[in-house]
Structure 1
């Protein structure tokens, strides 16, 4: 499992509640597009801003509406105690797998990170994806640590940051990591601007922010790469470059939340304060980009 396009939807919310209706509508778009899996309560899903009860409710909504598509639930938290509780909630709700990043206020050591995954996997009966996200956690995995964690029971995938641009360099990076981990553990690329090169370099999965909003567009790119049509995948990514540049300037969460607001898919505001979607000047720029992309991709 955890191959192909794994789409990560927003969790629309106000300061008082999760917008369950809007979340369900976004989720059903992914189901209709028949994405390969759906990642709920990742960074795009604003997991860090939600209570345990709110996270459980989002998990329940996702599982109830999945129609057979595997649902991966983020269980990251500051304390191992809380991670274990979230893992239990996800399993009881019927999640297909869980996603875990080594989140901490204090800088973690490699031994502490290994201990986290060791303790959590002992409590699991479903697969786990390791979330390597140094821009958020400020922890940098070594390939050796990835290899040790990947040999723990139930570890099925590693969600790595964007690979280096340049296909030969990216292939070498994937090859280096692959040498340390079991063959049945998949390597998935995140950072949407790096998706095409990552998939062309040998990653089996694209963990996608944009896929949570425009699943058909992203599924087309992912399936081209996986089918060996590397030029087609790269061409599609190049056409999406204006969005990738906005992601890099403003952060992918703010950009996709703003687009969803602009297109009436969710109410405004949709992010937990102090996070805010983008201002009117940027919205005008985004609007121009979306008009061009609509003509090329039939965004829906």
Structure 2
């Protein structure tokens, strides 16, 4: 299940409340496009800015709207107690899997992170994806720690950040990690600009931000790579360089993708939880031009 394209939609807000109609529409678009799975309440879903009841509601809406498409629900929180409660909620809604990052305020040690995954996985009845995102958690996994965690019950996938741009170095990076994790545990990438390189290097999954808004575009890259057409996958990704440049310029993908959703009429403006803001002025105009240039508008 945790292979292919996993598309992560926004959690649009409307006057500081969840815009349920907009969220359901985003999920339905992903189902219609034929994505392999749908991931909610990851970083793109603004999980850290939502309350427990809001997160439970999003999980429920996603599962109800996804039909036969598997739904992965983010359960990250500061305290293990809260992670366990969110895991129970996700299982109760019918989620097919859960996604867990070592979220923290105080810096975490390797032993504390291992203890978190150990406590959660022993109580799960669904697969878990390890969310390695040092840009937001400020925790860096070693390959050895990934290997220890991957051996825990119910761990089914590891979601890694970017890899070296050079294909041979990327393949070496993936193979180094692959040697330390069980063969049934998939390895996926979350950095959209690196997706083609990592899929071509042997990763089985792409946990995609742009897939949540432009699923057909992300599916084309995924299917080319998984069919062994590395050149086509890279060509399709390179074509999106103006979008990747905006991600780099604005500190990541969230503000850019949220602004794109507003420009496309898929979310009201503003759709992010304060104090986060979507792009304004010249930056917003530049994104509109890129969407037009890439025929994403």
**TM above 0.5, one fold?**
yes
Which residue of structure 2 aligns with residue 278 of structure 1? 279
Equivalent-residue separation in structure 2 for 1:257 and 1:135 (angstroms): 19
Which residue of structure 2 aligns with residue 259 of structure 1? 260
Q: Determine helix, strand or coil for the equivalent of 1:268.
A: coil
Q: Determine helix, strand or coil for the equivalent of 1:220.
A: helix
Equivalent-residue separation in structure 1 for 2:97 and 2:23 (angstroms): 20
Which residue of structure 2 aligns with residue 248 of structure 1? 248
Task: Decide whether the 8 Å contact of 2:52 with 2:86 is kept in 1.
Answer: yes
Question: Cα deviation per residue 1:15-65 (whole Å; 9 max; x = unaligned)?
Answer: 531000000011111000010001000000000000110000000000001
Task: Decide whether the 8 Å contact of 1:15 with 1:273 is kept in 2.
Answer: no
Which residue of structure 2 aligns with residue 138 of structure 1? 138
Equivalent-residue separation in structure 2 for 1:210 and 1:84 (angstroms): 29
Q: Determine helix, strand or coil for the equivalent of 1:146.
A: helix
Equivalent-residue separation in structure 2 for 1:270 and 1:41 (angstroms): 15
Which residue of structure 2 aligns with residue 101 of structure 1? 101
Task: Decide whether the 8 Å contact of 2:16 with 2:273 is kept in 1.
Answer: no
Task: Decide whether the 8 Å contact of 2:4 with 2:36 is kept in 1.
Answer: yes
Q: Determine helix, strand or coil for the equivalent of 1:182.
A: coil
Which residue of structure 1 aligns with residue 40 of structure 2? 40
> Residue 166 in 1 paired to residue 166 in 2?
yes
Q: Which runs of 5+ in 2 are unaligned?
A: none
Q: Determine helix, strand or coil for the equivalent of 1:181.
A: coil
Q: Which runs of 5+ in 1 are unaligned?
A: none
Which residue of structure 1 aligns with residue 119 of structure 2? 119
Q: Determine helix, strand or coil for the equivalent of 2:63.
A: helix
Equivalent-residue separation in structure 2 for 1:277 and 1:76 (angstroms): 24
Which residue of structure 2 aligns with residue 74 of structure 1? 74
- How far is 1:14 from its partner? 3.3
Question: Cα deviation per residue 1:211-230 (whole Å; 9 max; x = unaligned)?
Answer: 00000110010000010000
- How far is 1:140 from its partner? 0.7
Task: Decide whether the 8 Å contact of 1:143 with 1:180 is kept in 2.
Answer: yes
Equivalent-residue separation in structure 2 for 1:186 and 1:124 (angstroms): 18
Range moving further from structure 2, 201-210 or 11-20: 11-20
Equivalent-residue separation in structure 1 for 2:106 and 2:12 (angstroms): 29
Which residue of structure 2 aligns with residue 268 of structure 1? 269
Which residue of structure 1 aligns with residue 225 of structure 2? 225
Aligned residues: 296
Question: Cα deviation per residue 1:193-213 (whole Å; 9 max; x = unaligned)?
Answer: 000000000110001000000
Q: Determine helix, strand or coil for the equivalent of 2:43.
A: coil
Equivalent-residue separation in structure 1 for 2:154 and 2:42 (angstroms): 19
Range moving further from structure 2, 278-287 or 214-223: 278-287
Equivalent-residue separation in structure 2 for 1:287 and 1:47 (angstroms): 26
